[in-house]
Structure 1
Amino acid sequence: MDFKNIIANRYSSRSFSDKQVSLDVLKQIISDAQTTASWVNSQPWKVYIATGEKLTAIKKKHLELIAAGRSSSPVFPVLGRHLWHQDQQENMAAWSQEKEDFQHLPDKIFRQLNETLFSAPSVIYFAIPKNSPDWSKFDIGAFVQTATLSAINQGLNTMIAYEFVKFPEVLAEDLTVDENYQIVIGIAVGYEDDHIANNFRSSRRPLDDILTIFE
């Protein structure tokens, strides 16, 4: 797949089939991501992959906490939308409206897909050291994007989502994570099914809104 097509095929898949992704393919995704640049080649990442029975257990506990009304407690705090810069508030409002207008699909459907962790057959969790500098947060974002594009190149679908790290206590119970590291984000990797929500595409601002060139 040429690079332009890889980028074009990077979108959020919200419902996956139960078709499994081979461990060799998952390993290749992370191997590709290791080419990512980082501050002084610090490579501040560790990666944990959950599949099979382990992921089933995580999904079950995730649903139980939602049903119990548990508040989320991700490593990176969630900022209320009204506290973001005006540009981002506008983008998020547009996204919400687009989602609401899409096929007149109720928000309840999207929420249910989130809560089931999108029925993903594999979830890749990414961790950085506790008390990492901001530069490492930048680096892990680049690492995740490289992994995502590698997955797309191999004919897979992906979903990068806060939902995967909403309840760190679940991950602490089911994954053996280096005590000096903390999981900050997760992505689903698999083959999307035919759910209509997978056809939703979010818009982007015009290039001139974000780009300034000085000559």
Structure 2
Amino acid sequence: MGKNLIYKRRSIRSFDDEEVSDSLIEEIIKDASHAPSWQNAQPWHVYVAKDGVLDRIKAEYKNAKKNNLPSNTDITTPHRDNRSDLSMKNIEEWGDSVKEALGDQGTDLPEFQEARADLFHAPAVAYLTAKKNASEFTIYDIGSFGQTLMLSATSWGIGTIPAYALVTYPDILKKELLIPDDEEVVIGIAMGYPDDSKLNCIKTTRTDVDNILDIRK
């Protein structure tokens, strides 16, 4: 059962407008709270944007993009120079998978761009925060929480995607979600019911285990 759940989870890039109830979100977050953390510190907080708040965030994001405001995420993003050859190969293969599903335009497809600009049309987005200047172990804990959240959501029939596009303007998020100044936004996870868009037909592969595993005896 657990293995089937892992393989069932996938990134959803276009949601329909059906609401995800508050009670179901609470169940998913309750499940996620069982993720492991250093000394059981549970260093996460979750802010869920829905309805009017999410509509304002989407509108402000689009306005910021229109005015060419640079993104300024709270945590650093990986630079290609610091990625391994294997990671770069995997990224290239992801691009091929996108083109296979969407056509030669790939991520430049207007439908893809529109969905990303509208935060994937998600009816809810969960934003995970940590205290400012959190240690790398704390960021690991947040990642564990996020993955547990997404697996729980999958078990409830809810699609998800963690994405850079959701956290490009943290100042907007902090204003609309009333996030305290001593917290930083680590990641956003869009949540909802998948629609029938071809954006949801992107299928990725995983590198062979031999490429990532060394067992020493």
Normalising TM by the smaller chain, what interval?
over 0.9
Runs (5+) with no aligned partner, structure 1: none
Q: Please point out which of 154, 167, 170 is paired with 1:168.
A: 170
AA of the residue aligned to 1:162: Y
Q: Secondary structure at the match of 2:216?
A: coil
Q: Secondary structure at the match of 2:148?
A: helix
Shift of the 93–171 alpha-carbon distance from structure 1 to 2, 3 Å rule, reads: same
Alignment root-mean-square deviation, CA:
1.3
Q: Secondary structure at the match of 1:99?
A: helix
1:177 match: 179
Runs (5+) with no aligned partner, structure 2: none
Q: TM-score, normalised by structure 2?
A: 0.94
1:156 match: 158
AA of the residue aligned to 1:108: D
Q: Please point out which of 143, 146, 150 is paired with 1:144.
A: 146
Q: Distance in 1 between matches of 2:203 and 2:126?
A: 23
* Worse overlay, 173-182 or 55-64: 173-182
Q: Distance in 1 between matches of 2:99 and 2:12?
A: 17
Q: Which runs of 4+ in 1 moved over 6 A?
A: none
Alignment of 1:1-215 (within 5 A): 2-104=1-103, 106=105, 107-109=107-109, 110-215=112-217
Q: TM-score, normalised by structure 1?
A: 0.95
CA contact (8 A) 2:174 2:180 kept: no
Deviations along 1:149-186, whole A, 9 cap, x unmatched? 00000011111111111111110221111332111101
CA contact (8 A) 1:17 1:192 kept: yes
Q: Secondary structure at the match of 2:28?
A: helix
Q: Distance in 2 between matches of 1:143 and 1:103?
A: 31
Q: Secondary structure at the match of 1:49?
A: strand
- Seq. identity, %: 34
AA of the residue aligned to 1:73: N
Cα distance, 1:87 vs. partner? 1.8
Q: Distance in 1 between matches of 2:189 and 2:134?
A: 21
Shift of the 83–112 alpha-carbon distance from structure 1 to 2, 3 Å rule, reads: farther
AA of the residue aligned to 2:169: F
Q: Secondary structure at the match of 1:36?
A: coil
